[in-house]
């Protein structure tokens, strides 16, 4: 089966280790190591079973928390991207809040803070940079003009709930955590030497992929149908579910939660009950007639 290369729309390909059978080229290194075999990340990594396989460690143990965090990131990015959607732009803040509430327990990185300079002069300079450059760039408001106070606030900022309402910061931190092992490389493929991003495992490659699609309208999404929840590649920017079947099933499930839907379901079940009562009565009558 031919699968579309995930990075087709991105300028730079994402590479993962490959075998002799599925390799698409070799990465050249400057060390004495021989070049190694790679292939581009493709949508088949999202296939059933294959995706779960990517979230297992070397001993085969399932990495449940890691998988949940990735699904959370995909859904958060989906909400964040609604900003670029012409007719749904106004929905993104609500969608973001909803996704955060749903995945609050699955996101880890905001608990870490980096040590700040202790030297008073350096700390003041750091606070000044925060106020003049960092805070406005992130679209934040620390509510202070004092550099010392800004540095103090920043120190504990990621421990505060308010930091989570800032998509740029939160996504930036979570995704960056997974980029430590990613390398910029050169690879030979189809007779050309090309730049690429090499990831030692598929999990890291997933984060690179989501990073590259941050400002693309299409990308990976999580199917909202309650019995699915699968990560899939969108074929249109507004594709919500992984398949037409799930689109219909999800639409019905949502409709059932509305007051009209609840009323219709109640009427329907009453109608069915009346029908079965009538059938039972007729049967009983027939049985009664026979025994006479
Ligand atoms: Zn689905």
Confidence of residue 7 (pLDDT cuts 50, 70, 90): very low
pLDDT on residue 156: 65
CA of 243 to the centre of ligand 1 (A): 6
Model confidence at 109: pLDDT above 80: no
Whole-structure pTM over 0.85, yes or no? no
- CB-based neighbours (< 5 A) of ligand 1, an ion: 223, 225, 228, 242, 246
Model confidence at 33: pLDDT above 80: no
CA of 223 to the centre of ligand 1 (A): 5
pLDDT on residue 32: 66
Q: Is residue 253 part of a domain?
A: no
CA of 241 to the centre of ligand 1 (A): 5
In the chain, the number of structural domains is: 1
Comparison of pLDDT for 76 and 152, the residue scoring more: 76
Helix (H, G, I), strand (E, B) or coil at 292: coil
Q: Is residue 130 part of a domain?
A: no
CA of 174 to the centre of ligand 1 (A): 25
Q: Is residue 94 part of a domain?
A: yes
Cβ–Cβ under 8 Å, residues 119 and 95: no
Q: Is residue 158 part of a domain?
A: no
Model confidence at 3: pLDDT above 70: no
Cβ burial, residue 49 (10 Å; 0-12/13-18/19+)? exposed
**How confident is the model over 55-73, as a mean pLDDT?**
91
Q: Which of 141-145, 218-222, 243-247 has the lowest mean pLDDT?
A: 141-145
CA of 168 to the centre of ligand 1 (A): 28
Percentage of the residues of the chain whose pLDDT score is greater than 90: 35
CA of 63 to the centre of ligand 1 (A): 22
pLDDT on residue 143: 85
CA of 231 to the centre of ligand 1 (A): 8
Q: Domain of residue 94: give its range.
A: 8-114+178-241
Count the alpha carbons within 13 Å of 244 in the hemisphere toward its beta carbon: 0
Q: Where are the alpha helices (DSSP H) in 139-197?
A: 147-157, 167-177
Model confidence at 20: pLDDT above 90: yes
pLDDT on residue 230: 92
CA of 73 to the centre of ligand 1 (A): 17
Model confidence at 58: pLDDT above 70: yes
- Within 10 angstroms of residue 267's Cβ, the number of other Cβ atoms is 10
Q: Is residue 189 part of a domain?
A: yes
- Please name every residue paired with 37 in a beta bridge, in sequence order, or none if there are none: 26
Q: Is residue 173 part of a domain?
A: no
Model confidence at 8: pLDDT above 50: no
Q: Where are the alpha helices (DSSP H) in the chain?
A: 50-54, 64-81, 92-103, 120-129, 135-138, 147-157, 167-177, 202-212, 244-257, 259-291
pLDDT on residue 1: 46
Q: Which of 35-44, 67-76, 104-113, 190-199 has the lowest mean pLDDT?
A: 104-113
Q: Is residue 90 part of a domain?
A: yes
Q: What is the distance of C-alpha 282 from the center of its chain?
A: 57
CA of 46 to the centre of ligand 1 (A): 12
Q: Could you give the CA distance from residue 279 to residue 268 in angstroms, rounded to a whole number?
A: 17
**How confident is the model over 41-67, as a mean pLDDT?**
88
CA of 50 to the centre of ligand 1 (A): 16
Q: Is residue 127 part of a domain?
A: no
CA of 47 to the centre of ligand 1 (A): 12
């Amino acid at each position: 089966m031919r699968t579309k290369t995930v990075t087709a729309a991105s300028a730079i390909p994402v590479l993962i280790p490959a075998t002799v059978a599925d390799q698409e080229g070799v990465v050249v290194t400057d060390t004495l190591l021989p070049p190694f075999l790679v292939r581009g990340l493709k949508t088949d990594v999202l296939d059933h079973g294959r995706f779960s396989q990517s979230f297992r460690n070397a001993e085969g143990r399932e990495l449940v928390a890691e998988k949940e965090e990735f699904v959370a990131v995909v859904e958060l990015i989906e909400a964040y991207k609604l900003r670029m959607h012409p007719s749904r732009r106004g929905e993104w803040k609500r969608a973001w809040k909803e996704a955060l509430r749903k995945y609050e327990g699955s996101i880890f990185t905001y608990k870490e803070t980096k040590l700040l300079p202790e030297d008073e002069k350096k700390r003041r300079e750091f606070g000044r940079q925060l106020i003049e450059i960092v805070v406005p760039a992130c679209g934040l408001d620390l509510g202070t003009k004092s550099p010392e106070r800004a540095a103090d606030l920043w120190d504990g900022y990621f421990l505060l709930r308010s930091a989570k309402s800032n998509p740029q910061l939160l996504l930036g931190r979570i995704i960056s955590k997974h980029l430590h092992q990613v390398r910029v490389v050169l690879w030979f493929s189809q007779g050309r030497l090309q730049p690429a991003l090499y990831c030692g495992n598929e999990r890291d490659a997933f984060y690179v992929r989501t990073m590259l699609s941050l400002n693309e309208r299409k990308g990976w999404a999580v199917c909202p149908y309650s019995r699915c929840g699968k990560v899939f590649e969108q074929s249109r920017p507004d594709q919500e579910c992984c398949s037409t079947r799930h689109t219909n099933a999800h639409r019905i499930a949502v409709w059932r939660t509305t007051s009209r839907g609840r009323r219709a379901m109640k009427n329907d079940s009453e109608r069915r009950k009346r029908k079965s009562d009538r059938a039972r009565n007729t049967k009983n009558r027939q049985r009664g007639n026979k025994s006479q």
